[in-house]
Amino acid sequence: MSATRTCSSDPLNISGWSWQPFLDDAVQALKPLNYKPYPVEDRFLWKQDQSGSKSKPVTVTTATWACQTEKFRQVRAACVSGGDTTSVLNFVINPLSRFDLPFFGGDLVTLPSGHLLALDLQPADKSDADHTKPVWDRLLPIFDLWRSKLPDGGPIPEEAQPFFSPGFLWTRLPLGEEGQQLINTVVRPAFNAYLNLYLELAAAAEPVSNQRRDHLLAGQRRYTDYRAEKDPARGMLTRFYGKEWTEAYIHTVLFDL
């Protein structure tokens, strides 16, 4: 059924994909906003190829769910599923620069080496207190609650610091029963708590001046350019689908501002 999707905001269901409940939660939370599809070329809505060795081929699927709303320029989920140990939900909400809002960013990654889980409300300009303080004041109590239940994910690159908030929830969990338990009981409610806060901030946001909009847009471009340039999925996607498809996906769908 998913293979016949013709529209980015049609229901997306990848059989056996471990992050399906997270995407379902997010789509459900967005429903009251009466979202419209966001234009995505057919070749990025649903992509399937064989990967792995000749004797042990694995089917790898990458699908995109996307929409837009009155205040969100682009909401998009990049969904990757390949066998038992490759599963990704990368979910980003890009607000219109007309609204003083951060980005919502979620990176939920399962690889043979384990789970890597990142959640944040990421600033367009970390040095701008008018932009950050109203978000951080409400995010930090939520962050503290969930962080206490998860191991720390370890250091992230210095150059990435400007793009993260102090509420960056970042953990690595082992594969298997124990890790899955924490995903169900901690990571999923944390994802929904971050998303609900984000949607509350967005609901309250009022349009800003043209000058303020231009300032926010410049910050959004720095963030988007950084994410496109450093996309940690580049290697994996290139292995699966080749360079041409991957670069076009990164630059015209995932980080298209």
Residue ranges in contact with ligand DBV by CB under 6 A: 78, 80, 88, 90, 105-107, 109, 116, 118, 120, 156, 227, 231-233, 235-236, 254
CB of 97 to ligand DBV, least distance (A): 19
In this complex, which beta carbon is closest to ligand DBV, that of residue 9 or of residue 86? 86
Q: How far is the CB of 34 from ligand DBV (least distance, A)?
A: 26
Contacts of 8 (CB under 8 A, 6+ apart): 37, 38, 39, 40, 45, 64, 65, 66, 67, 76
Where does the chain show beta strands of DSSP type E? 36-37, 46-52, 57-68, 72-82, 86-95, 103-111, 114-122, 169-173
164 membership: H or E segment, kind and range: none
Alpha-carbon distances of 250 from 125, 232, 243, 245, 246, rounded to whole Å:
22, 11, 10, 9, 6
Of 206 and 244, CB closest to ligand DBV = 244
User: Which residues make beta-bridge pairs with 57?
Assistant: 52
Give the nearest distance from C-beta 55 to ligand DBV in angstroms: 24
Instruction: Give me the residue whose beta carbon is nearest to ligand DBV.
Output: 105
Q: How far is the CB of 92 from ligand DBV (least distance, A)?
A: 7
Tell me whether residue 116 or residue 208 sits nearer to ligand DBV (CB atom).
Answer: 116
CB of 215 to ligand DBV, least distance (A): 22
Nearer to ligand DBV, 32 or 59 (CB): 59
CA–CA distances in Å: residue 15 to residues 19, 60, 84 = 10, 12, 12
When the beta carbons of 145 and 156 are compared against ligand DBV, the nearer one is: 156
The residues that bridge with 93 in the sheet, in sequence order, are 75, 104
Q: In whole angstroms, how close is the CB of 108 to ligand DBV at the nearest point?
A: 9
Closest to ligand DBV by CB, 154 vs 209, is 154
Residue located via tokens 């109590």: 141
Smallest separation, CB 109 to ligand DBV (Å): 4
Give the pair of three-digit tokens for residue 154: 């370890």
Residue nearer to ligand DBV on the CB measure, 100 or 107: 107
Q: 159, 96, 86: which is closest to 116 by C-alpha?
A: 86
C-alpha 181/C-alpha 177 separation (Å) is 6
